[in-house]
Structure 1
Amino acid sequence: MKEAVLITGANGLVAKELAKRIGNEYEVRFLTRKKQHSNEYEWNLAKGTIDESALDHISHIIHLAGANISEKRWTAERKKELISSRVDSAGLLLKTLKEKNIRLKSFISASGINFYGTITTEKIYTEQDFPGNDFLSEVVVLWEKAADEFKEQNIAERVVKVRTAVVLTEKDGALKKMIPPIQYYVGSPLGTGKQYMPWIHIEDICGIYEFALKNSTVEGPYNAVSPQHATNADLTKKIAEVLHKPLFMPNVPGFVLKLMFGELATAILEGSRASSQKILATGFQFKFPDLREALQDLLQSK
């Protein structure tokens, strides 16, 4: 009998791609706001409700739910939503598991590389470093604290926190937004272009979740970031090279982005490096550790 894995954040690309990877070995279930398929179960965070049958005979939960950080300006209301979608959703799962007296083999939670703060420095952050003191690091700290509760309250044998970098996929996210301006000859680095952009190929982030699921010695926080560091300018230049397009526009000034996005602009204009040594030490191997090769794989049909 296959072990059952429940995935939250069902509409996200990582959830969909991950389900394809593990679907032959595990019974994959999804939590979603609107059920459309037989392996989907509804939950409603605002009402605090969940279809408890989703948790029957469950062995693992992979918690990917969370409102998109860069989708809207960070109003006070949006900030609450960004936190609630991660923290309160984990709390609802924990409460329901306790009520049903269910114990998991693992609770594997998404987290963010912005744990260390949204700043540009020459420091390479490791999992041993302390969190930053800005809004995004606050979100991640609360997110991880909610995950840790599953171990502390003896609901999960182990907890894994996947501190995710910018996920590169042509189907969504940062890369999808960067492609059109470059294709139409108006692409350029943002701000100074010197801010680091920790990144990871969509196949490698799904690979890390699969690896964490299958390896019981994997526990605690891990930087899910490619070993090769890149700045915003590096990434922009390499996308243009892979697409065979020139870059001749000046950098987009930081103040323009601040006018457009408000406080959210800091997440675009600042960024530091993070080490992948801890995940590599587990035996995990990146399929796309090189930025150019990662982009060629994603953009070769463009």
Structure 2
Amino acid sequence: MKVLITGGTGLIGTRLAEMLIDSGYEVALLSREPAKSSHFRSFRWDVQAGTIDEAAVPYADYIVSLAGASVADGKWTDERKREIMTSRLGGLALLARELAKPSHHVRAVISASAIGIYGDAGDKQVTEETPPALPTHDFLADVSHQWELAAAPIAALGIRTVIPRIGVVLSTEGGALPQMAKPMKLGAGAALGSGKQYMSWIHLDDLCRLFIAMLEDESWRGTYNAVAPYPATNQAFTEVLAGVLHRPLLLPKVPAFGLKLAMGEMSEIVLASQNVSAAKVLAQGFRFEYPELRGALQALYGGE
């Protein structure tokens, strides 16, 4: 079975490609600048120009769409916001255009989304049935909502489409966790804002195992929260991380106004509260290797 991954050089795509190969799949990457040294076959596309290697989609039995500019790289200027949005919508539009052609055998598409779609939900637990946080001035909610709408034309073609709403991905290779661990290792760890906001997280390997389950079992379709079963408040997350790293928590909380000054609108990423349910994924029969935060962090930082 052949899997084509867009955004395959990012944090999730890199690990997913490795785990797919280990599971016996063939993997190819769809990239703007295919790396000559890559272990994987690569096809070229240019989302801005609307061009794609015509052999890319016919190669695949399955497509995993992860492409999109990182929301965490740099302040959200108007230009940056446009890039974050268009990189997601443009990629899916290109895929939909190619999938509308008869010359392919794609069985299913996994199209990434994010729990940002729920906005700042406070203490309230949210499920896949919870409406998106719209109308809104919440950029992450808007991006996630538009991202999901952009996958609708693929589903309308009759192709099985699965939309995982991804939580905070835990990995030492990138994402939020190294940024949180860095000050802590220097003895300057602290909860952010009130510390009461919920963080719904998932270990990177569990996320990739979930994607593989979505590919292999045809009963997966529609939206699923890709989060572990036990979310943690920012305060609790910080305390567990400090314990795993054997560091004290000496500082008071970092005030919300300070984060907003430093990060601008991007402070939404760490200040929004999202208590997201994993019940639908569990009901589907998926079992997490790392359901609890301490175990997930110990697996990542056990040698430190």
Q: How does 1:1-302 map to 2 (within 5 A)?
A: 3-23=1-21, 24-36=23-35, 37=38, 39-99=41-101, 101-117=103-119, 119-133=120-134, 134-154=138-158, 156=159, 158-302=160-304
- 1:77 alignment partner AA: E
Offset, 1:11: 1.3
Q: What is the TM-score of this pair, normalised by structure 2?
A: 0.94
Q: CA RMSD in A?
A: 1.3
Return the letter of the residue paired with 2:148. Answer: E
The alpha carbon displacement at 1:47 in A equals: 1.3
Check the 8 A contact 2:192/2:234 in 1, yes or no.
yes
Q: Is the 8 A contact 1:107 1:147 kept in 2?
A: no
| Stretch deviating more after TM superposition (51-60 or 242-251) | 51-60
Displacement of 1:235 after TM fit? Answer: 0.9
Output the CA distance in 1 between the equivalents of 2:75 and 2:104.
39
Q: Which runs of 5+ in 1 are unaligned?
A: none
Shift of 1:101: 3.8
Decide whether the 8 Å contact of 2:99 with 2:154 is kept in 1.
Answer: no
SS of 2:218's equivalent in the other structure is coil
C-alpha displacement at 1:263, in angstroms? Answer: 1.0
Instruction: Report how many residues are paired.
Output: 297
Whole-angstrom distance in 2 between the partners of 1:283 and 1:183? 37
Aligned-residue offset at 1:100: 5.4
**Structure 1 position 57, deviation (Å):** 3.9
The SS at the match of 2:100 is helix
Q: 2:152 is matched by which residue type in structure 1?
A: D
Instruction: State the distance in 2 between where 1:250 and 1:151 align.
Output: 48
Following the alignment from structure 1 to structure 2, what is the Cα–Cα distance between the partners of residues 261 and 17? 29
CA contact (8 A) 1:120 1:195 kept: no
What is the letter of the counterpart of residue 12 of structure 1?
G
- Length-normalised TM-score, structure 1: 0.95
How far apart, in 2, do the equivalents of 1:176 and 1:267 lie? 15
State the shift of 1:98 in Å: 2.3
Cα pair 2:48 2:90 within 8 Å, conserved: no
CA contact under 8 A between 2:30 and 2:56: conserved in structure 1? yes
Poorly superposed stretches of 4+, deviation over 6 Å = none
